[in-house]
Amino acid sequence: MLLGRRDYASSELADKLSAKGYTPTAIDQALGALRAERLLDDGRYLENFVRSHTARGQGPARLRQELRQLGFGGEAIEAAIESGPDYVALCREVRARKFGQKAPATWAEKGKQARFLQYRGFSSDHIRLALGQDPETLDNPADEHS
């Protein structure tokens, strides 16, 4: 009945079954049977998790934190995040959705937007690029004197 509603991570389903009073042996057998029938698939769960949470505007740091809390290991998390969208583009989109297309004009506005994006799970590099502070596109004063 639990799997009919949504996908679960193995550890999440094990916790639910344990809370209902099932023994660890029974839980392991049930999870094994579900995996054999491909009704329980942690890889599929990770893909769906990344897709749905990035659609909500969450960045990779937030995804990592939530997936660690669900009991996933580092390699599985990194593989799922790498298969996700372009996080710089997503960061720009989230910033524009919240604050509009116009770039922040003051340091206070930049700080407010940066804190918001950091809370959403974007790295400082993503935020810097989303705020229009790409060092590759800024004029380099050293080049003018060459």
Mutual orientation of helices 42-55 and 60-69 as an angle, nearest 10°?
A: 140
* pLDDT, position 139: 45
Instruction: Tell me how far apart the alpha carbons of residues 67 and 9 are, in angstroms, rounded to a whole number.
Output: 10
State which amino acid sits at residue 17: L
* pLDDT, position 1: 46
| Token pair listed for 117 | 């994006």
Residue in the structure block whose two tokens are 């769960």: 45
* pLDDT, position 98: 94
Domains defined for the chain, CATH in brackets = 8-40 (no CATH), 41-85 (1.10.10), 87-130 (1.10.10.10)
Q: What is the mean pLDDT of residues 106-133?
A: 93
Which range is least confidently modeled, 54-58, 114-118, 128-132? 128-132
Instruction: Tell me how far apart the alpha carbons of residues 127 and 139 are, in angstroms, rounded to a whole number.
Output: 19
24-61 residue pLDDT tens = 999 999 999 999 998 899 999 999 999 999 999 999 99
pTM, full prediction = 0.79
Q: Which residues have a Cβ under 8 Å from the Cβ of 112 and sit 6 or more positions away?
A: 104
In Å, how far from its chain's centre is CA 48?
11
